[in-house]
Amino acid sequence: MAVAGHTERRTAEEPGNDRRRPSRKGRAPRRGARRPGEARTAYLLIAPAVLLLALVVGYPVLKAVYQSFLTDPGLDRATGMFDSGGNWFGLHNYTHWLLQRCATPEGGWTSCPSGALGSQFWGSVGVTVGFTVVACTLETVIGMVFALTMHRAFRGRAMVRVAILVPWAIPTAVTSKLWQVMFDPQGVVNKLLGTHYAWTSSLWPARSAIVVADTWKTTPFIALLILAGLQNIPAETYEAARIDGAGAWRRFTNVTLPLVKPALAVAVVFRALDTLRMYDLPKILTGGSNGTTTSAVLVVNQLTRGTNSASALSTITFVLIFVIAFGLVRLLNANLFGARAKAVS
C-alpha cells in the first residue's frame, strides 16, 4: 500500500500529468490575434482615403440632397418679379417628379401637360429598366458564348480574343456615331436586311437600335469576366465528368455553370448598374427622342431649366438604382449561397 501510494504521488507530481491550465504568460499568441496598436495603425492608414472619398463623393451628394429642397430661379407667380431661387421648397420638387404635378399660374398644382419634363419621369424609368433587362440578358447569353469560345485551345485564339475585346475598348461616343451611320436609312443595316427603316425616327426601331449598339459594345466586358471564372475551373473536373459519361450539355449545366456563377453574378451586377445610368448612347444615337429618354437623359435635360429640381430628380434616380441593385445583389447571393449549401450537403 505504501509503495502504491508513493507511486501515485510520483505520478501526480510528473510534469506531463499536471492538469492545471498553463499560465497565459509565455504562451504563444493565437493565430490571427491582433497585436495591440494594429487596429489604430489600420485606421490611420485608411483615414486619408476615407477623408478623400468624403470630400469627393460625400460632399457633392449631401449638397445635391440639400439643394433638392430649394426653389429654382424663375418668375415669382405671386409678385410677377424675377426670383433668384434658393428658398425653402419642402418636398415640392419630389412631388413634381413622383406625382407628375406641375405648378399653375395661380400658384396651385395640376397634372403636368404631355411633353413637359415632369410628365416624362415614370416613362423614363420604364425605358431605363427595359433597356437594362433586355440588354443585360442578351449580353450575358452572348458573353457566355464568347467566353466559352475564348477558353478553348485552338490556333489563332489570341487573335480571336483581341477581335472580341475591340468593341469594348472603343469610347461610347464613337460607338454611338458609328451605329448612327450604320442605322441611317441608306446605311449598312438596311442594306444587309433589305429594309428601308428610319431606325432612329420611330419608337421600337429606335429602342432596338440602342439595345443592339449597347450589346455590341459591352458584351466583351461580360465575356472577359466570365472567362476569368472559367480559367479557375480545374481541368480534372471536366475529365472526371467525361469519365462519368457526362455529355457536353451536362458538363455545361452541372460543372461549368455552377462553378462560374460567382464571376457571372459580378458581371451581371456591374453591367446592370452601368445600364441603369445609361446616358451617352441614347443621347447621341437618338437624342433621347421617340421613347428613348432614360433617367440620366432626363436629369441632364432638367439641368438646363433648374438645378435644384434636377437635384431632386437625381436623388430619386439614385434611390431607384440603389434599390434595384440591392435587390439584384441579394437575389444573386441567395442563389449562390443555395448552390453552395446544396454542394456541401
Nine-digit cell at 342? 446544396
- Rounded distance between C-alpha atoms, residue 22 and residue 15, angstroms: 11
Cβ(139)–Cβ(222) below 8 Å: yes
For residue 109, what are the β-bridge partners?
Answer: 103
- Predicted model pTM: 0.79
| pLDDT per residue of the chain (345 residues) written in tens, 0 to 9 | 444 444 444 444 444 444 555 554 555 555 555 666 788 888 889 999 989 988 888 888 899 999 999 988 876 666 667 777 778 888 999 999 999 988 777 767 888 888 888 899 999 999 999 999 999 999 999 999 999 998 888 888 888 888 888 999 899 999 999 999 999 888 899 999 888 888 888 899 999 999 999 999 999 999 999 999 999 889 899 889 898 888 889 999 999 999 998 889 989 998 999 999 999 999 999 988 888 999 999 999 999 888 999 999 999 999 999 998 888 888 876 444 444 434 333
Cβ(195)–Cβ(185) below 8 Å: no
Q: Note the maximum CA span of the chain.
A: 117
**How far apart, in Å, do the first and last CA atoms of the chain sit?**
57
Cβ(295)–Cβ(317) below 8 Å: yes
Helices (H), the chain: 2-13, 38-53, 59-67, 92-98, 121-151, 157-169, 172-182, 188-193, 203-230, 235-243, 248-251, 257-276, 280-285, 295-303, 307-344
Residue 321 CB partners (closer than 8 Å, separation 6+): 273, 276, 277
DSSP label at 118?
G
